[in-house]
């Protein structure tokens, strides 16, 4: 390609081809499939515009030939232009027919008409374009022949036309450097293990390449009759923003452009006094929206200014652009069962979302009065408080969004319960003297705490003592280091009127990390069981 003489539109197509090639090398997931579809739609739009522009060049050639008195030399130029249009039109029609074939064989469009029913469909693409079981009799081999025949035909009108358009792994500049790709033929290189949307983008890219060389050829022919001079009667500046309302911390995007554009005119544009890139006649504007003061509705009106500078009949004309937009204050939404207050020293899981940021929400967190651990999913964060109040700071893409403050409550004390022979003890009624054998001391978590943080509400009695008491004198005693203890020997010695006194010495709680921490139960931890 004649890089130095390429139009902005042609340079954009080349850049999109590089992006397409890079995406093909990545592992395919749903996000990449959407990017393939975006590239395909963009290329289709560019191709339609290029096709219309090329048709306009032929019309201008015809007009110039007529104005020049229909000289034989000029009529030959027109005949050549028509031949180029005819050859290109047939090839473009064939490529678009391949697109429709692939779309239909893979299930057509989805019900919402926003994409395709099966955007992946790698097997169906391979069967159609390469052939069943890699038989090498698929449609891509005919496409290869047609592209290369077109290159031979166009060589007479465009000296910069390459000898071949359908390159295999050995002749493709990028694939030839890749050991895994260099031995593939054209069909395999472009359509092997290729999702539907990637195959469609590849076909659109090939069509763009064909239309680019047609445009070069027609411009060469147009220069021979002076038909490459394009004039506009009216030129005015316009700006188009993706959205006039944008959340703080997100990108504001807009196109600033002249209403009538042409490859023959490349306007200069500025944003806030600084030059910006101009692609296909449109200035690319992108900046991070920010505001300090918001109204009662959480909105802040802002404006940006730019200029479009064009060369009109040898004189520069400056067109001013002023565009208003609104910065919306983002609202932080926190979802959690215990959002009103957090528990001290516990892993409090929160789901923090900022709906105004939409898909660009890329959160990071920090906390004062505790620590913040980012979760695996977007917006998930675990707060571990160390003080009675925690302030959670939320950012997105490196831009501060806001903060939320939470009160911190202490962990509720567990209650204790004595279970003998599998049943809770009624301390008023007592137990038969010989019936006290297997005793379990249970530490029971507060029900609300257990519902909010089940991983933190795991209690266990780890040390307790039991005494067999007669009158005011202890008869026997035992100490245990687990919740359950065997008091069979007490039963052998006990008589009516005796009592068993239990003293709980230690209770532990397993936290979210599985580490034991001391826990103080309610009451004094002493129980007396009368024997009868």
- From the list 11, 54, 47, 2, the residue with the least C-alpha distance to 158 is 2
Q: Say whether both 202 and 252 belong to one domain.
A: no
Q: Which of 409, 432, 467 is the last residue of a domain?
A: 409
pLDDT digits (tens), the chain, 532 positions: 344 466 766 666 666 555 555 544 444 556 777 888 888 888 989 999 999 999 999 999 999 888 888 888 889 999 999 999 999 999 999 999 999 999 999 999 888 888 888 988 889 999 999 999 878 899 999 999 999 999 999 999 988 889 999 999 899 988 889 888 999 999 999 999 899 999 999 999 999 999 999 999 999 898 888 544 445 556 767 777 766 667 677 788 888 877 666 655 678 899 988 999 988 778 889 888 887 788 876 678 888 999 988 875 456 788 899 888 878 777 677 766 455 679 999 999 999 988 878 778 899 999 999 999 999 999 999 999 999 999 999 999 888 888 899 999 999 999 999 998 788 988 888 888 887 888 999 999 999 899 889 999 999 999 999 999 998 899 999 999 999 999 989 988 988 999 999 999 999 999 988 999 999 999 999 989 899 8
Question: Do residues 379 and 353 touch, judged by C-beta distance below 8 A?
Answer: yes
User: Would 232 be classed as within a structural domain?
Assistant: no
Distance CA 9, CA 280 (A): 5
Report the number of distinct structural domains present in the chain: 4
Read off the CATH number of the domain in which 373 is found.
Answer: 2.60.40.10
User: Would 211 be classed as within a structural domain?
Assistant: yes
Q: Looking at residue 381, what is its pLDDT? A: 93
Q: Say whether both 317 and 340 belong to one domain.
A: no
Q: Say whether both 54 and 147 belong to one domain.
A: yes
- The torsion angle over the Cα atoms of residues 24, 26, 27 and 32, rounded to 10 degrees, is -70
User: Would 185 be classed as within a structural domain?
Assistant: yes
Pairing of the two strands 380-385 and 370-374? antiparallel
User: Would 59 be classed as within a structural domain?
Assistant: yes
Q: Say whether both 318 and 377 belong to one domain.
A: no
For the chain, the C-alpha Rg in angstroms (whole number) is 39
Q: Say whether both 188 and 51 belong to one domain.
A: yes
User: Would 229 be classed as within a structural domain?
Assistant: no
Q: Which of 189, 223, 257 is the last residue of a domain?
A: 223
Listing DSSP states for 138-180 in one string gives SHHHHHHHHHHHHHHHHTTT-TT--S-SS--TTTSTTGGG-TT
Q: Say whether both 144 and 279 belong to one domain.
A: no
Question: Do residues 402 and 361 touch, judged by C-beta distance below 8 A?
Answer: no
Distance of CA 98 to the CA centre of its chain: 31
Q: Looking at residue 80, what is its pLDDT? A: 94
User: Would 231 be classed as within a structural domain?
Assistant: no
Q: Looking at residue 247, what is its pLDDT? A: 67
Q: Which of 190, 223, 256 is the last residue of a domain?
A: 223
Q: Looking at residue 23, what is its pLDDT? A: 47
Q: What mean pLDDT, rounded, does the chain reach?
A: 85
Q: Say whether both 390 and 437 belong to one domain.
A: no
Q: Say whether both 298 and 403 belong to one domain.
A: no
* DSSP H or E segment with residue 104: helix 72-105
Q: Say whether both 269 and 404 belong to one domain.
A: no
Q: Say whether both 48 and 83 belong to one domain.
A: yes
Distance CA 150, CA 84 (A): 10
Contacts of 422 (CB under 8 A, 6+ apart): 438
454 CB-contact burial (10 Å; exposed 0-12 / middle 13-18 / buried 19+) = exposed
Q: Looking at residue 232, what is its pLDDT? A: 56
Read off the CATH number of the domain in which 478 is found.
Answer: 2.60.40
User: Would 228 be classed as within a structural domain?
Assistant: no
Listing DSSP states for 55-99 in one string gives HHHHHHHHHHHHHTT--HHHHHHHHHHHHHHHHHHHHHHHHHHHH
Q: Say whether both 194 and 91 belong to one domain.
A: yes
Contacts of range 227-230, beta carbons closer than 8 Å, 24 or more positions apart: 227/57, 227/60, 227/61, 227/63, 227/64, 228/57, 228/60, 228/264, 229/264, 230/60, 230/262, 230/264, 230/265
* DSSP H or E segment with residue 197: helix 196-223
- For residue 248, the enclosing domain spans 237-328
Helix (H, G, I), strand (E, B) or coil at 105: helix
Task: Write the pLDDT tens digit of every residue in 149-170.
Answer: 999 999 999 888 899 999 998 9
Q: Looking at residue 223, what is its pLDDT? A: 84
Distance CA 526, CA 372 (A): 39
User: Would 188 be classed as within a structural domain?
Assistant: yes
* DSSP H or E segment with residue 14: helix 8-24
Distance CA 6, CA 279 (A): 12
Q: How many C-beta atoms surround the C-beta of residue 140 within 10 A?
A: 28
Whether the model pTM is above 0.85? no
Distance CA 335, CA 339 (A): 7
Q: Say whether both 176 and 294 belong to one domain.
A: no
């Amino acid at each position: 390609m004649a890089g130095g003489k390429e139009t902005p539109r042609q340079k954009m197509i080349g850049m999109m081809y590089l992006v397409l090639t890079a995406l093909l090398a990545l592992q395919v997931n749903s996000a990449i499939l959407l990017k393939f579809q975006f590239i395909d739609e963009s290329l289709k739009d560019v191709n339609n515009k290029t096709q219309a522009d090329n048709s306009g060049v032929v019309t201008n050639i015809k007009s110039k030939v007529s104005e020049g008195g229909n000289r034989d030399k000029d009529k030959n130029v027109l005949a050549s232009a028509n031949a180029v249009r005819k050859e290109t039109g047939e090839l473009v029609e064939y490529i678009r027919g391949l697109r429709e074939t692939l779309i239909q064989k893979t299930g057509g469009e989805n019900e919402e008409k926003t994409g395709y029913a099966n955007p992946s469909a790698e097997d169906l693409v391979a069967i159609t374009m390469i052939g069943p079981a890699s038989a090498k009799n698929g449609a891509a081999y005919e496409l290869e022949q047609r592209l290369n025949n077109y290159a031979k035909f166009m060589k007479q009108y465009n000296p910069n036309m390459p000898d071949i358009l359908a390159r295999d792994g050995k002749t493709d500049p990028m694939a030839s450097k890749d050991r895994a790709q260099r031995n593939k033929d054209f069909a395999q290189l472009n359509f092997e293990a290729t999702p539907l949307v990637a195959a469609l983008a590849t076909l659109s890219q090939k069509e763009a390449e064909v239309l680019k060389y047609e445009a070069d050829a027609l411009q060469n022919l147009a220069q021979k009759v002076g038909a490459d001079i394009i004039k506009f009667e009216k030129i005015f500046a316009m700006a188009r923003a993706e959205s006039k309302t944008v959340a703080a911390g997100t990108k504001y995007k807009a196109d600033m452009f002249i209403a009538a554009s042409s490859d023959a005119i490349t306007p200069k544009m500025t944003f806030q006094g600084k030059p910006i890139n101009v692609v296909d006649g449109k200035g690319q504007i992108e900046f991070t929206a920010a505001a300090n003061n918001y109204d009662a509705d959480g909105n802040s009106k802002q404006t940006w200014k730019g200029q479009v500078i064009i060369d009109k009949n040898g004189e520069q004309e400056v067109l001013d652009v002023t565009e208003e937009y609104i910065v919306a204050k983002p609202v932080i939404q926190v979802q959690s069962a215990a959002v009103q207050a957090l528990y001290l020293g516990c892993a409090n899981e929160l789901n923090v979302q900022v709906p105004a940021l939409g898909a660009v929400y890329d959160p990071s967190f920090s906390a004062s009065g505790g620590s913040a651990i980012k979760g695996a999913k977007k917006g998930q964060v675990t707060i571990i408080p160390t003080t009675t109040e925690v302030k959670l700071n939320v950012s997105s893409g490196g831009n501060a969004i806001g903060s939320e403050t939470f009160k911190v409550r202490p962990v509720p004390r567990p209650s204790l319960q004595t279970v003998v022979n599998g049943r809770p003890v009624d301390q008023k009624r007592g137990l038969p003297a010989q019936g006290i054998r297997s005793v379990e001391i249970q530490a029971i978590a507060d029900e609300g705490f257990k519902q909010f943080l089940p991983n933190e509400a795991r209690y266990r009695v780890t040390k307790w003592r039991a005494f067999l008491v007669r009158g005011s004198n202890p008869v026997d005693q035992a100490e245990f280091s687990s919740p359950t203890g065997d008091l069979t020997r007490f039963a052998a010695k006990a008589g009516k009127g005796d009592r068993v006194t239990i003293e709980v010495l230690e209770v532990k709680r397993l936290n979210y990390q599985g580490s034991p921490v001391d826990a103080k139960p309610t009451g004094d931890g002493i129980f007396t069981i009368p024997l009868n």
